[in-house]
A and B are shown apart, each in its own frame.
Chain A
Amino acid sequence: NAGVTQTPKFQVLKTGQSMTLQCAQDMNHEYMSWYRQDPGMGLRLIHYSVGAGITDQGEVPNGYNVSRSTTEDFPLRLLSAAPSQTSVYFCASSPVTGFGGYTFGSGTRLTVV
C-alpha cells in the first residue's frame, strides 16, 4: 500500500507559468482534498472532492483548478503561477463516511519566482 503519493516533491516555477501537482491514492478513498501550508499559518483547504466527478471549493481556491475523473487521482492545477502561491502543498484522502482519519501525502514544495 503506497497510501497517498504526491509528485513532484519540489518545483520551481516562473511567474505566469502553469503546472499540475499530482496526487494519487490506492486506498479506494472517496474523499480527497488539497491544502496549502504557509509559515505561521495552519493548513488551509484549497479544493476538495467527495467522489469521482464531484469537486468543490475550500477556503482559498483562487488561482487553482481541480478535477476528479477517477477515484484514485486528484490533480491540482495552477493556472498562472504567482509568488503568493509559493507554499507547501499537501494532498489528503479519507473514506467519505465514518470517522477514520485523513491520510496525507508527503507534500510538494513549490517556489514561484
Chain B
Amino acid sequence: DAKTTQPPSMDCAEGRAANLPCNHSTISGNEYVYWYRQIHSQGPQYIIHGLKNNETNEMASLIITEDRKSSTLILPHATLRDTAVYYCIVFNAGNNRKLIWGLGTSLAVNP
C-alpha cells in the first residue's frame, strides 16, 4: 500500500486559505488520494478525493500534481471550526477497501 507523508502540524489565520501538503511518491496508477479530517476526537469526516484531476466541492479543493506524487488540500477561507487533524490517504479499492491511516496534520486556525 502506498504511504503518505504529511507535516505534523500547521497554523493558519482565520479567513485565509489553508494549504495542506501531502507526499505520496509511491502511489500506483489505480490508487486514489482521499482526505479526511477529525475534529477533537470525533469520528473522521470525509472531505474530498481525486485520481489525477483537480477536484473541488463545497468543503475544499484538491490539487494533485501531474506526476501524482503529491497533492495539496486547500481550505479557501479557513474558520476556527476547521481546526482539526487532516489525514491524506491513498486508497486502493481493490485492497478490500482498506484505508491505511497515518498521523495526519494538526491544523490550528487562529483568530
Give Cα distance in the complex from A45 to B89, angstroms.
Answer: 14
B41 neighbours in A (Cβ, 8 Å): 88, 107
Q: How many A-B residue pairs have CB under 8 A?
A: 56
The answer to whether B97 and A31 touch across the interface, beta carbons within 8 angstroms, is: yes
Q: What 1/0 flags go to B22-50 for Cβ under 8 Å of A?
A: 00000000001010100001111111010
Closest chain B residue, CB of each to CB of A94: B97
Nearest Cβ in chain B — how far from A10, in angstroms?
12
- Judged by DSSP, the binding face of B is loop
Asked, given contacts A90-B44, A104-B44, whether A42 binds B49 with beta carbons under 8 Å apart, the answer is no
The answer to whether B42 and A106 touch across the interface, beta carbons within 8 angstroms, is: yes
Q: Which of A76-113 contact B (CB under 8 A)?
A: 88, 90, 92, 94, 96-97, 99-107
Residues of A within 8 A of B87 (CB): 42
Give the interface size bracket for B toward A.
Answer: 20 to 34
Q: Inside 8 A of B44's CB, which chain A residues have their CB?
A: 43, 90, 92, 102, 104
Q: Does the CB pair B101–A44 fall under 8 Å?
A: yes
Please give me the residue from chain A that is nearest to B42 by CB atom. A106
A62 CB to closest chain B CB, in angstroms?
18
B45 contacts across to A, CB distance below 8 A:
104
Residue B102 at the chain A interface, CB threshold 8 Å:
yes
Contacts of A100 in B (CB 8 A): 46
What 10 new A-B contacts, CB under 8 Å, besides A56-B96, A101-B47?
A: A35-B101, A40-B103, A43-B44, A45-B99, A90-B44, A100-B46, A101-B34, A101-B36, A101-B49, A107-B41
20 contacts between A and B (CB under 8 A): A4-B43, A35-B101, A40-B103, A41-B103, A42-B101, A42-B102, A44-B101, A48-B98, A50-B97, A56-B96, A90-B43, A90-B44, A94-B97, A99-B91, A99-B93, A101-B34, A101-B46, A101-B49, A102-B99, A107-B43
